[in-house]
Amino acid sequence: MTTPISRDRASALFFDGTARGELLLRRCEGCRHLAAPPVTVCPTCASTDLVWQRADGRATLVCWAIRRAADTETVAGIVELREGPWLRARVVGCAPERLAAGLPLRVRFDRPAVTDPAAPAPEAVPVFTPDEQRRTTPDE
């Protein structure tokens, strides 16, 4: 299940990054605090001098909910990025019985298929999938 995402002025640079396969965070130029993409004011020092910074894409699962409808299951999760910020995102490629707090995850980008050639191309959105490499090397 894909939720349609609309680009606007505030989200344009974020979605330019997802189109390139990059997950971007907001970094405060004053105190260097890293925050989630929608932040417009630094939660640490209240500065509005924020720039985009690329995240490495690794995260851990904090909590989740499973939505079951018809023949589909969608996992909505809260993930903690390696850099610190928490994001809401879908968790894909993982059986519900494998979900656990602390599960290592890695970002990938869901690029919905174009169904209407006259409509704007759908935005690539970050989703998270189990990071099997980190399961065997937890010290990373």
Q: Considering only CA atoms, which of 76, 69, 83, 79 is closest in space to residue 131?
A: 79
Res 139: pLDDT: 47
Residue 13 confidence (pLDDT) above 70 = yes
- List CB contacts of 72: < 8 A, sequence separation 6 or more: 1
E strand or H helix at 19? helix 12-19
Confidence of residue 4 (pLDDT cuts 50, 70, 90): low
What tens digit of pLDDT does each residue of 114-131 get? 788 887 778 999 999 999
What's the number of CA atoms in the CB half-sphere (13 Å) around residue 30?
10
**What fold is seen in the domain 12-108+120-136?**
OB fold (Dihydrolipoamide Acetyltransferase, E2P) (2.40.50)
Cα–Cα nearest to 133, from 65, 57, 22, 23: 57
Could you give phi then psi for residue 4, rounded to 5 degrees?
-65, 135
Question: Higher confidence at residue 138 or residue 61?
Answer: 61
> Tokens 């928490």 — which residue?
86
Q: Which residues have CB under 8 Å from 83's CB, separation 6+?
A: 25, 34, 55, 56
Each residue's pLDDT tens digit, 63-112? 999 999 888 899 999 999 999 999 999 999 999 999 999 999 999 999 88
Q: Where are the domains of the chain?
A: 12-108+120-136
Does residue 140 have a pLDDT over 80? no
Whole-number pLDDT of residue 70: 86
